Amino acid sequence: MDSTTQILTVLILLITMVLVVIITQFARRRRSLYVLRPLPAYRLIPTAIGESIEANRPVHISLGAAGLGGFETLTALAAAELAYQAASRAIIGGVSPIVTISDPTALPLAQDTLRRAAAARGLLKSGAARDARWYPAGSSGLAFAAALSGMLPDDRVAASILVGSFGTELALIAETSARRGQRLIAGTDTLQGQAVAYVMADAPLIGEEIYMAGAYLGDSAVQMAGAVVPDILRWLLILAIFVPTALAVGDAILNGRFSAALARLLGGG
Q: What are the pLDDT digits (tens) for 159-209?
A: 999 999 999 999 999 999 999 999 999 999 899 999 999 999 999 998 888
Would residue 219 count as lying in a domain? no
Task: Please provide the average confidence, as pLDDT, over all residues in the chain.
Answer: 83
Average pLDDT over residues 123-141: 77
Q: Are residues 193 and 74 located together in one domain of the fold?
A: yes
Q: Is position 109 within any domain?
A: yes
DSSP state of 203: E
Q: Do 234 and 203 have their domain in common?
A: no
**52 and 134 inside one domain:** yes
The number of domains in the chain is 2
Instruction: Tell me the pLDDT tens digit for each residue of 59-79.
Output: 999 999 998 988 889 999 999
Q: Residue 66: phi, psi to the nearest 5?
A: -65, 130
| pLDDT class of 82 with cuts at 50, 70, 90 | very high
Of the pLDDT bands very low, low, confident and very high (cuts 50, 70, 90), residue 219 is confident
Let me know whether 66 and 150 are in one domain: yes
For 254, list phi and psi in degrees, rounded to 5. Answer: -105, 15
Query: Do residues 45 and 18 share a domain?
Result: no
Residue 151: count other Cβ atoms within 10 Å of its Cβ.
19
Q: Which residues of 232-249 are buried (b: 16+ CB within 10 A; e: fewer)?
A: eeeeeeeeeeeeeeeeee
Average confidence (pLDDT) over 48-58: 92
Q: Are residues 44 and 10 in the same domain?
A: no
Q: Which of 168, 186, 211 is the last residue of a domain?
A: 211
Is 101's pLDDT higher than 90? yes
Which amino acid does the sequence have at 135?
Y
Range of the domain at 253: 3-32+225-265
* pLDDT at position 266: 64
23 pLDDT band (50/70/90 cuts)?
Answer: low
Question: Is the Cβ–Cβ distance between 187 and 204 less than 8 Å?
Answer: yes
Q: 263 - beta bridge partners? A: none
Report the pLDDT value the prediction gives residue 20, as an integer from 0 to 100: 64
- Tell me, yes or no, whether 98 and 141 share the same domain: yes
Asked if 80 and 64 sit in the same domain, the reply is: yes
The predicted structure's pLDDT at residue 96: 87
Give dist(CA 110, CA 130) in Å, integer.
9
Assess whether 49 and 23 both reside in one domain: no
Biggest CA–CA distance in the chain, Å, is: 77
Q: How far apart are CA 216 and CA 41, in angstroms?
A: 10
- Is 184 in the same domain as 128? yes
Strand order in the sheet with 159-165: 132-134, 98-101, 59-64, 159-165, 183-188, 203-205
What is the Cβ-side half-sphere exposure of residue 203, based on CA atoms within 13 angstroms? 18
Count of alpha carbons within 13 angstroms of residue 189, beta-carbon side? 17
Distance separating the N- and C-terminal Cα atoms of the chain: 38
